[in-house]
Amino acid sequence: MDKATELQQWRRRQLRNNVLAGWVVVLVVAAFFYGLFSMLDPDMTLIEQTLRRAVSGIKSDNNWQMFLRIAWHNERAVWLVFVLALIPVPLLYWLNLVGTAASVGLVLYLNASHTQVGLLILTGLVPHGIFEITCFAFAVGLASQLNYYMRSRTQNWRQHRYDWIGQIPWWPFMYPILRAYLLVVVPGLIFAAAIEAYITPWLLTLVR
């Protein structure tokens, strides 16, 4: 097998494994934190006040302004994933996705007293979350390639099968990652933001 074919298969495997792992991490971490908060029942007054202040300006936005805020926030979150991937430390780029999953568990717990959790998930999370989480997991898959590349260039002591990847010139390696980001992640997050800004608020009014 030539190196070009081997590299292509490696990229596909990285994407597939990380997208699946991303979904598992989100579901497990969100469920864990929701269960933890439900069991401990801590005083969330300070957190609720902080969140109210944080979203006070957003509530006055129209749908278009909300869409722009959400889209911009999501893109910055993905950029952070890629920035962390540049650091030659394994799995560091997962921090953002894990933090997002933990925040989902927190939001579910805070809203459980107002809306049944099942309805809240179906109306407030699932419609846009399917696309948003998939895009974040896809971005993590791209970041895993970048991180492996950086580690293979900076420390080649592991003698793993794919350590030759670090010898590929920067642009030929980065171009497929950039193309996948622009063609998959960016439009996917924009679509998710549109659902969250225009459809999710309407769905929530049906269950509250």
How buried is 3 (Cβ within 10 angstroms: 0-12 exposed, 13-18 middle, 19+ buried)? Answer: exposed
Q: Quick check: 145 pLDDT over 90?
A: yes
* Spatial distance between the Cα atoms of 138 and 81, rounded to a whole number of angstroms: 11
Average pLDDT over every residue of 103-109: 88
Average pLDDT, the chain: 87
Q: How many helices (H) and strands (E) does the chain have?
A: 9, 0
pLDDT-based confidence at residue 123 (cuts at 50, 70, 90): confident
The torsion angles phi and psi of 193, rounded to 5 degrees, stand at -65, -40
The one-character DSSP state at 5 is: H
Q: Quick check: 75 pLDDT over 70?
A: yes
pLDDT-based confidence at residue 36 (cuts at 50, 70, 90): very high
- Neighbouring CB atoms inside 10 A of 126's CB total 14
Average pLDDT over every residue of 53-67: 70
pLDDT in the model for residue 99: 94
pLDDT in the model for residue 160: 64
pLDDT-based confidence at residue 149 (cuts at 50, 70, 90): very high
* Spatial distance between the Cα atoms of 159 and 144, rounded to a whole number of angstroms: 18
* Spatial distance between the Cα atoms of 191 and 208, rounded to a whole number of angstroms: 25
- Taking the CA atoms of residue 174, residue 78, residue 180 and residue 189 in that order, the dihedral angle to the nearest 10 degrees is -160
Q: Quick check: 60 pLDDT over 60?
A: no
Which range has the worst mean pLDDT, 58-62, 101-105, 112-116? 58-62
Which ranges constitute the DSSP H helices of 41-183?
A: 45-59, 63-85, 95-111, 117-120, 126-154, 170-180
Structure confidence by residue, pLDDT tens digits, 23-32: 999 999 999 9
Helix (H) or strand (E) holding 112: none
Which range has the worst mean pLDDT, 42-56, 80-94, 98-112, 156-170? 42-56
pLDDT in the model for residue 116: 75
pLDDT in the model for residue 125: 86
pLDDT-based confidence at residue 53 (cuts at 50, 70, 90): low
